[in-house]
Amino acid sequence: MTWDTSTTPATAVKSAMNPVYRKRLWIHRVGISLSFLAMAIGIFFLLWILGTLLVKGFGAVNAGMFTLTTPPPGDEGGGLLNAIVGSLMMVGFATLLSTPIGVLAGIYLAEYGEESWLAQVTRFVTDIMLSAPSIVIGLFVYALYVANVKHFSGWAGSFAIALIAVPVVVRTTDNMLNLVPTSLREAAFALGAPRWKVATYVRLRAVRAGVMTGLLLALARISGETAPLLFTALNNQFFSANMNAPMANLPVVIYQFAMSPYDNWRSLAWGGALLVTFSVLGLNILSRTLFNQKIHS
């Protein structure tokens, strides 16, 4: 039986007195302190923003905000009914448009485009679109669609935010499918399943919670986009369910009302901002809950 002198108290004392060890320990402590300070500063400003939003936003939340349309300049009362309905319609159509495109593209990249040049180009373009400013996408849809039909519309707004959601869904689906063990695919192939069934019934089903997480994150991102809608859907003071005409939406209404000189409009802007914030927060919490359930199962 040998005696390990590397763990004796004397060795520990010598290690502690080592100048190299002490320098590394000092650098480690400084790094941890700076990291904690940066985290504390970020959390402080986040809580400050949320606190201000809660204080000013709850004062504007009432039944009229959900049942009345936006008021004209100088009038009291009013609500955000037309903006809420317009946002729901445009975001809903954008989700219906981006979901099948994003999921199918992600399946192709993961299953069929492992070494294809087209898949590499698609991943590169997807990464560019993920980092592209939303205002650029809004200008693109404006030049491609709005300038040709000569009017703003809810359809144009839906197309713009759908272009923002598609790369999020594609990248999430691709990454989730690549997490499926190779043995699971090989077992399905060994049973005689064709490749399209392995991709959809085996591989996609195994990570359906992760794919759903990507869909919810894409939905949360496009829910608060303002710049693309300024160039596409614009706004509408009145209630309208016509997607082929200018349509009210919460982000643009918040932007316009927050910069107005009317106290009533600014109050409604705070209420709309609170509504959008809680909607996005709820979607993020839901997506993380679904993802955690998949891991623990």
Could you state, in order of their start, the residue ranges of all structural domains in the chain?
A: 5-58, 66-296
Spatial distance between the Cα atoms of 277 and 99, rounded to a whole number of angstroms: 23
Please compute the mean of the pLDDT values over residues 27-32 and round it to a whole number: 92
- Per-residue pLDDT averaged across 226-252, rounded? 92
Token pair recorded at residue 142 = 């404006």
Q: How many CA atoms lie within 13 A of 122 on its CB side?
A: 23
Q: Minimal CA–CA distance to 121: which of 108, 104, 136, 135?
A: 108
Mean pLDDT of the 104-111 span? 90
pLDDT: which is higher, 33 or 209: 33
Task: Check residue 291 and give its pLDDT.
Answer: 61
Task: Give percent of the chain with pLDDT exceeding 70.
Answer: 91
Residue 80: is its pLDDT beyond 90? Answer: yes
> What pLDDT digit, counting tens, does each position of 45-65 carry?
999 999 999 999 988 888 989
Residue 13, pLDDT > 60, answer: no
Which region among 7-16, 260-269, 277-286 has the lowest average model confidence (pLDDT)? 7-16
pLDDT digit string, tens, across residues 186-212 = 898 888 888 888 888 889 988 888 888
Average pLDDT over residues 161-185: 91
Q: Using pLDDT thresholds of 50, 70 and 90, give the confidence band for residue 222.
A: very high
Confidence category of residue 16, pLDDT binned at 50, 70, 90? low
Q: What percent of the chain has pLDDT over 90?
A: 49
Question: Cβ(68)–Cβ(82) under 8 Å?
Answer: no
CATH architecture of 66-296: Orthogonal Bundle (1.10)
DSSP result, 149-177: HTS--HHHHHHHHHHHHHHHHHHHHHHHH
Signed CA dihedral, 202, 208, 210, 215: sign only: positive
pLDDT tens, position by position, 130-156: 888 999 999 999 999 999 999 999 999
Q: Is the per-residue pLDDT at 14 higher than 80?
A: no
pLDDT, position 295: 40
| Predicted local confidence at residue 296, as pLDDT | 41
The structure tokens listed for 226 are 């303002």
Two tokens at 83? 């903006």
Examine the pLDDT at 290 and tell me if it is beyond 80: no
d(CA 31, CA 131): 29
Q: How far apart are CA 290 and CA 116, in angstroms?
A: 32
User: Residue holding tokens 């970020």?
Assistant: 42
For position 10, what pLDDT does the model report?
55
**Alpha carbon separation from 266 to 74, 137, 271 (Å, rounded):** 12, 28, 9
pLDDT of residue 171: 92
Residue 29 pLDDT > 80, yes or no? yes
Mean pLDDT for the chain? 87
CA distance linking residue 2 with residue 16, whole number of Å = 24
Q: What span, in angstroms and rounded, lies between the C-alpha atoms of 51 and 49? A: 5
C-alpha dist (Å) from residue 243 to 81, 112, 125, 133, 240: 16, 37, 29, 25, 8
Please report which confidence band the pLDDT of residue 39 belongs to, taking 50, 70 and 90 as the band edges: very high
Q: When comparing pLDDT for 86 and 284, which is higher?
A: 86
Instruction: Give pLDDT, residue 6.
Output: 52
